[in-house]
A and B are shown apart, each in its own frame.
Chain A
Amino acid sequence: MMGRFKNILLAKLFTRFPKLIGRAFAKVSPVNVVGIPWAPFQKPLNESIIAIVTTAGVHLKDQPLFDMKDPDGDPSFRELPSATPSHDYKITHDYYDHADADRDLNIVFPVGRLMEMERAGVIKAAAKVNYGFMGHITGRHVDTLIKKSAPEVAARLKKENADAVLLTPG
């Protein structure tokens, strides 16, 4: 419990004093990636179905919370339906201060804005299902994320005919 309290306190400090972030993460070992994947965006935007993937720790109130006790984070994901009213969502994430996002989910998970764009004809549609992760994945769970949960979400998005994906952090 003390660990969680410390993380929440740090998150508040980082939000107020962003310069501390660089210092805090200076020792985090870099992730080595090879190359840059590329899928050209060829459809017009107004013919495209757009999905959101957020790492802000957003989930439905009746879904399991993200695990805040594992220091390597929680690499699992949650389905976030676009039609769900925002008061049925909550955020579990101790590593950033989500007081503002609790008031307006759109600042980390802009599904309301996407629905408005659908109504205005800017995009063809907001995807029926979006996906929520908790950021702050480190250590052994980087592998779980890259090898298991992220490819699974990618496969689902493909099956659900998403034409493009917008990613938003916490």
Chain B
Amino acid sequence: MGLIQREIEKAGIPTVSVSIQRRFTEEVRPPRAVFLDWPMGHPLGEPFKVDIQMAVIKSAFKALETIKEPGTIIDLPFRWKMVEDLKEII
């Protein structure tokens, strides 16, 4: 994912990715990422949990707006299946 992201950014389009594999993201060095320690196949959370999915996207957009240092990975403070972590954002 990060390699594709880099090519899009090179073309002049700002990008942000949702990472669930921090090691790979660190290695490939995309311009901006948010990281969640969540299971594979679930970067936006659980099926039909619209609030959680929205919280992840909003956090990614916030990263897009605020990251100024290329290669920044923001660790989102959302634990897997812990809705209380999302209180402030949803």
Q: Which residues of A contact B (CB under 8 A)?
A: 11, 14-16, 18, 21-22, 25, 30-31, 33, 36-41, 45, 53, 55-56, 96-101, 103-104, 106-108, 110, 113-114, 116-117, 122-123, 133, 135, 137, 142, 145-146, 150-151, 153-155, 157-158, 162-170
B44 contacts chain A at the CB level, 8 A cutoff: yes
Contact with A along B17-40 (1 / 0, CB 8 A): 111110110011111000000011
Residue numbers in B under 8 Å from A37 (CB-CB)? 6, 9-10, 31, 70
Residue numbers in A under 8 Å from B31 (CB-CB)? 36-39
Interface residues on B, range: 35 or more
If over half of B's interface residues share one DSSP class (helix, strand or loop), that class is named, otherwise mixed; here it is mixed
Residue numbers in A under 8 Å from B43 (CB-CB)? 107-108, 168-170
Tell me whether A107 and B47 are in contact in the complex, defined as CB-CB below 8 angstroms, given that A36-B29, A155-B11, A166-B60 are known contacts. yes
Tell me whether A153 and B13 are in contact in the complex, defined as CB-CB below 8 angstroms, given that A110-B44, A113-B57, A168-B44 are known contacts. no
Residue numbers in B under 8 Å from A15 (CB-CB)? 39-41
Q: Is the CB of B57 within 8 A of A164?
A: no
Contact partner of B11 (CB less than 8 A), chosen from A21, A106, A117, A151, is A151
A104 to B6, CA, bound (A): 28
A61 to chain B, nearest CB (A): 19
